[in-house]
Chains A and B, each alone.
Chain A
């Protein structure tokens, strides 16, 4: 059974810092890996999707990498801003074609 773990559970950083969020998964035979953002009381917004054949994806100040063999992904946020404060969730779609399995998320606070 696929399990997804995110470390740390919570993170507080001053504005302007670069930061890394970590995601690990137990079964490396994945279809894709997705990073989502969730604001309090809201739904999830897709940030980046990395297909199993890819190593990374970039969108603006966000960069996500994937190392399937080690079962790890990182989300890099450059020059963090208070508006980046949210919970970031990692999810994998494993090759058994079971829809996305989610981690518990990392709650990020960026302090002005």
Chain B
């Protein structure tokens, strides 16, 4: 079982470059999430989606964009990379938002902006 798959695992960007972090899940989950984790910190929610075609902002959405055209995929776009976006990015999914639903996480993308 693949679960939640993120690509790439590592990436170095120059300031001002753009890139897309890919996330796909094979569990037919409706809810998907993007978090970032800075060293020594907890995870902060960037964007989330409750189904195809529906996205909403989290705590730290500035500088990012998302789309959800299919149930399986939830890419995160960085348009003009800044050093403040250096972080580890985690994608997660859950079947629904019910109170007994666990989140399943991908293995992360480590991004450095220099």
In terms of DSSP, what is the predominant structure of the interface of chain A?
strand
> Would you list which residues of chain B between 22 and 51 have a CB under 8 Å from chain A?
31, 33, 35, 40-45, 48
Q: Give the B interface residue count (CB, 8 A).
A: 25
> Would you list which residues of chain A between 29 and 48 have a CB under 8 Å from chain B?
31-32, 34, 36, 41-46
User: Is B14 close to A, CB under 8 A?
Assistant: no
Interface pair B103/A43, CB less than 8 Å apart? no
Q: Which of B40, B43, B44, B100 has the most CB of A within 10 A?
A: B43
Contact residues on A (Cβ < 8 Å of other chain), bracket: 20 to 34
> Would you list which residues of chain A between 69 and 83 have a CB under 8 Å from chain B?
none
Interface pair A104/B41, CB less than 8 Å apart? yes
What separation, in Å, do the CA atoms of A52 and B98 have in the docked complex?
11
Complex interface bits, B77-101 against A, C-beta within 8 A gives 1, otherwise 0? 0000000000000101000010111
Residues of B within 8 A of A (CB): 4, 31, 33, 35, 40-45, 48, 58, 90, 92, 97, 99-108
